[in-house]
Amino acid sequence: MHKFLIRSFVSSLVLLFTLTVTAVAKDVKAAFVYIGPTGDHGWTYQHDVGRKAVEAAGFKTTYVEGVPESADAERVLRQLANSGHDVIFTTSFGYMNPTNKVAKEFPNVKFEHATGYKREHPNVSTYAARFYEGRTILGTIAGTMTKSNVIGYVASFPIPEVIRGINSFTLAAQKVNPNIKTKIVWAFTWYDPGKEAEAAKALIDQGADVIAQHTDSTAIVQMAEKAGVYAFGQASDMDKFAPKAVLTSVENNWGPYYVDRVKAVANGTWNQKDTWHGIGDGMVVISDLDSQMPADLRSKVKKLQADLASGKVHSFTGPIYDQKGNLMVAEGKTADDGMLAGMMTYVKGVEGDIPK
């Protein structure tokens, strides 16, 4: 009798434990809303890599791709919230208002909005990555590797995220090489390989021997490879597309954050947060450095990477002047997050005007 009691007690404990574990693993369902196709090998692709990490951690996930940033987004969000999803990641800036609107209607569902700043309800969190830290590294490499002192930059749309990237890149390049010029071409697209290749070709024809990009496709690094100039991968490691041209890539690594947040929902520890992670937290990853870079540059970059991660170095450290020579950040100070989030002026050394 005694034995029987202990046995049943132990087995029920085991059963209970297994049940809880499977309950946690099965019950929490995460949904992802994408702006583009998962096959873009860029922005959406990287978010989907993050989703797969959540799946690998034992959670069920759903995704909807190609959702326009309009009333359609609301409809999709409402449907996902209604169909038993516990946490919904909305992965584009334009989903900001739909996310907050739908969050109000579903207080029990958690919402996570990428790259936005509105958290109107307690069940809305925001998250973004400090990609500009990666661009500080690219700028350092570009400024050192250029021989023509002309660096090309293919930009997408004039929004703070892109301007911040251009500034951070140029500041870093100037630091190692005060003679460089950053030539910017606006493609007005995130994603059109033909157009991106043409923009890169124009910059190369005009003497740029290092090309940076803030658009998503691999067409630019391929064009650089063909023309025999250097380039950097965007969003994912693009080395295999252009082994000679690509010096390194800045990768978007959402997986750890996604797993973390979905686990928090499962454990009941989810709380509202505004996350802006950089190299230090592993959300921004620098791919392998190409062996064409001299050894001292590689070690310099490694050190810079470590310093950016630890916070010893900040991408926007004063004195920083704008194009007209007005002081933006005083000597010894660093730009605060508010300034970074709304950055819409070029720093000194960038050529041309921001399209209005």
Partner 1 sequence: MIIDINFVGLIIASIMASAVPLILASCGELITERSGVLNLGVEGMMIIGAISGFALMTVTGSLIVAVFGAMLAGVLISTIFAFLTQTLITNHVATGLALTIFGIGISAMIGKNFVGIPGKEFPVLFESLKDTIPLISPILFGHSIVFYFAFALPFMTNYFLKKTKIGLIVRAVGDSPESASNQGINVRLVRYACILYGGAMSGLAGAYLSMIYTPQWIENMTGGRGWIALALVVFSTWNPIKILIGAMIFGGLTIIQFHMQAIGVRIPVQFLTALPYIVTIIVLVVISRDSRKIRLSTPSSLGKSFHKDN
Contact residue for partner 1 among 27, 72, 105, 205 (CB under 8 A): 205
| Residue 257, C-beta contacts closer than 8 angstroms, at least 6 positions apart | 50, 127, 275, 277, 283
Q: Does residue 241 bind partner 1 (CB under 8 A)?
A: yes
SS (H, E, C) 50-71: HHHHHHHCCCEEEEECCCCCCH
Whole-number minimum distance, CB 182 to partner 1, in Å?
11
Residue among 44 and 90 whose Cβ is closer to partner 1: 44
Considering only 60, 94, 97, 188, the residue that binds partner 1 (CB under 8 A) is: 188
Q: Near partner 1 by CB under 8 A, which window of 11-19, 169-177, 240-248, 280-288?
A: 240-248
Q: Does 84 bind partner 1 (CB under 8 A)?
A: no
Toward partner 1, which CB reaches closer, 107 or 355?
Answer: 355
Does the protein bind partner 1 through residue 211 (CB under 8 A)?
A: no
Distance between first and last Cα of the chain: 83
Q: How far apart are CA 119 and CA 121, in angstroms?
A: 6
Nearer to partner 1, 237 or 281 (CB): 237
User: Does 193 help bind partner 1 (rule: CB under 8 A)?
Assistant: yes
Among 195, 244, 263, 300, binds partner 1 (CB under 8 A): 195
Q: Is 345 in the site for partner 1 (CB under 8 A)?
A: no
Structure tokens at 252: 């978007």
Cα-based distances in Å from 303 to 142, 231, 298: 16, 21, 9
Hey, what are 294's tokens?
Answer: 């001299």
Q: Are 320 and 171 in contact (CB under 8 A)?
A: yes
AA letter at 277: H
Residue of the chain from 51, 183, 214, 277 that contacts partner 1 (CB under 8 A): 183
Which two tokens mark 108?
């029990």
Instruction: Kindly write down the DSSP assignment for every residue of 212-280, as one continuous string.
Output: EE-S-SSHHHHHHHHHT-EEEEEES--GGG-TTTEEEEEEE--HHHHHHHHHHHHHT-----EEEE-TT
- Quick one: 77 or 219, whose CB is closer to partner 1? 219
Site for partner 1 contains 198 (CB under 8 A): yes
Question: Cα–Cα distance between 278 and 111 in angstroms, integer?
Answer: 21
Query: What is the pattern of x (binds partner 1, CB under 8 A) and - over residues 131-160?
Result: ---------------------x--------
How many residues sit close enough to partner 1 to count as binding (CB under 8 A)? 44
Strands 284-286 and 29-33: unpaired
Is position 192 an interface residue for partner 1 (rule: CB under 8 A)?
yes
Q: For residues 307 and 311, what is the distance between their CA atoms, to the nearest angstrom?
A: 6
Considering only 217, 234, 253, 305, the residue that binds partner 1 (CB under 8 A) is 217
Q: Does 288 bind partner 1 (CB under 8 A)?
A: no
Near partner 1 by CB under 8 A: residue from 115, 123, 222, 248: 222
Q: Which of residues 5-64 bind partner 1 (CB under 8 A)?
A: 36-41, 45
Coil, helix or strand at residue 113 = strand
- Region of 188 please: left (phi>0), alpha (psi -120 to 50) or beta: left
For the bound state, the minimum distance from the C-beta of residue 324 to partner 1, rounded and expressed in Å, comes to 15
Give the binding range for partner 1 (CB under 8 A) out of 18-26, 216-224, 317-325, 326-334. Answer: 216-224
Which residues here bind partner 1, judged by CB under 8 A?
Answer: 36-41, 45, 152, 183-189, 191-199, 201-203, 205-206, 208, 217-219, 222-223, 236, 240-242, 351-353, 355-356
